[in-house]
Amino acid sequence: DIQMTQSPSSMSASVGDRVTITCRASQGVKTWLAWYQQKPGKAPNLLIYGASSLQSGVPSRFSGSGSGTDFTLTISSLQPEDFATYYCQQTDSFPPTFGQGTKVEVQ
């Protein structure tokens, strides 16, 4: 199975901050990488697919980049509703695997 490792596991940030989360795959997945946001008690919400394609309805402050084994999710200006846990997922092969999550907390 492809292992997905996110860093950091948690972080503190303030409204307006630029936030960057990284995800590393244990083997190359080309650009088959998705990002999800999850709030407490809620289902994950797809933000990015294909490493950099913004899902319909997702604010443009979210962006993704990377290919191969190293990927980044960036929030250009953190908003109050963005405090949540973020997961990457490789969609290249079965089984689809997720990172352990990055919790973005209020500083």
Binding site for other proteins (CB under 8 A): 32, 34, 36, 42-46, 49, 55, 87, 89, 91-92, 94-101
CA distance 45 to 29: 21
User: Shortest approach of other proteins to residue 49 CB, angstroms?
Assistant: 5
Cβ 33 vs Cβ 23: under 8 Å: yes
Q: Which residue, 45 or 52, has its beta carbon nearer to other proteins?
A: 45
CB atoms within 10 A of CB 44: 18
Joined together, the tokens standing for residue 101 give 């999550």
Give the nearer residue to other proteins in terms of CB position, either 18 or 30. Answer: 30
Comparing CB distances to other proteins, the nearer of 75 and 90 is 90
